[in-house]
């Protein structure tokens, strides 16, 4: 029998409440579940949808607690059965620097207050940043800020700042930190990708946008 390569298949015939079309959303997996939040479709979408890959069913959990507003192009990480949401666009021209935690075991949202760094201000409101979990810390890099007070008059500012957010085990966070880094900083950008190589403790940043499309590749050697 000839072994075939990877095969695409469109999933049809699912049941349950199907999310409406969108972009700028984020998704993570918890066991057999795909958790989808936010995105844009004629405004910002605020629903949380869950797809069960084992049963081909969508469902909308009955969430409680400090339910966040809809957001797009935000940071989304999964640590066990808790999810963390940071920043993103909450309406046109208005960006967020709020931090929320969702405990998926009971579908409970909580808005978190993280301590500011000792050596600088907390992260400014932004979208299109990367937010990556390495061990017990989330690494926040870059994104796009709006320096205008008037949301209709956008003054874009591309970012290349780096923050870490230390997590407490199971729930809540310790606070933000601005790590001292060495070497040349990557130029500012948004909508880049960031992947983590855990065995070598490296964060790999590729591409993005800063008025023009970028194709450069950067490695942060975390060395922890």
How far, rounded to the nearest angstrom, does the alpha carbon of residue 215 sit from its chain's CA centroid? 21
pLDDT at 3 over 80: no
pLDDT at 204 over 90: yes
Note the pLDDT of residue 154: 86
Residue 211 CA: distances (Å) to CA of 26, 117, 188, 198, 208:
23, 29, 10, 32, 10
Note the pLDDT of residue 128: 95
Q: 224 pLDDT band (50/70/90 cuts)?
A: low
Note the pLDDT of residue 7: 86
147-195 pLDDT, tens per residue?
988 877 889 999 999 999 999 888 888 999 999 999 999 999 999 999 9
In sequence order, which residues have a C-beta less than 8 Å from that of residue 92 and are 6 or more positions away?
151, 152
154-163 pLDDT, tens per residue?
899 999 999 9
**Strands of 6-136, DSSP E:** 26-30, 33-37, 48-52, 57-59, 64-65, 75-79, 82-91, 94-103, 108-112, 130-134
pLDDT at 2 over 80: no
Nearest to 139 by CA among 70, 22, 62, 220: 220
- Domains present along the chain, CATH in parentheses: 26-191 (2.120.10.80)
Note the pLDDT of residue 167: 94
65-119 pLDDT, tens per residue?
999 999 999 999 999 999 999 999 998 888 999 999 999 999 999 999 999 999 9
33-77 pLDDT, tens per residue?
999 998 888 888 888 999 999 999 999 999 999 999 999 999 999
Note the pLDDT of residue 33: 93
Q: What is the mean pLDDT of the chain?
A: 92
Answer for the pair 70, 44: CB distance below 8 angstroms, yes or no: yes
Calculate ∠ Cα 205-122-102, nearest 5°: 75
pLDDT at 199 over 80: no
């Amino acid at each position: 029998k000839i072994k075939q390569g990877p095969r695409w298949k469109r999933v049809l015939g699912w049941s349950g409440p199907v999310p409406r079309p969108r972009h700028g959303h984020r998704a993570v997996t918890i066991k057999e579940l795909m958790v989808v939040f936010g995105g844009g479709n004629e405004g910002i979408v605020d629903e949380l949808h869950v797809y069960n890959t084992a049963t081909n069913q969508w469902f909308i959990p009955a969430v409680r607690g400090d339910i966040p507003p809809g957001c797009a192009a935000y940071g989304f990480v999964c640590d066990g059965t808790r999810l963390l949401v940071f920043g993103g666009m909450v309406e046109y021209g208005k960006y967020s620097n709020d931090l929320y935690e969702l405990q998926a075991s009971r579908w409970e949202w909580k808005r978190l207050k993280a301590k500011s760094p000792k050596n600088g201000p907390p992260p400014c409101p932004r979208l299109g940043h990367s937010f990556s979990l390495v061990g017990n810390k989330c690494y926040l890099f870059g994104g796009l800020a709006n320096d205008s007070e008037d949301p209709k008059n956008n003054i874009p500012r591309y970012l290349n700042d780096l923050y870490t957010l230390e997590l407490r085990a199971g729930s809540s966070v310790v606070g933000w930190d601005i790590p001292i880094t060495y070497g040349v900083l990557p130029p500012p950008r948004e909508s880049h990708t960031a992947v983590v190589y855990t065995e070598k403790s490296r964060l790999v940043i590729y591409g993005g946008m800063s008025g023009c499309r970028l194709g450069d590749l950067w490695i942060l050697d975390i060395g922890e």
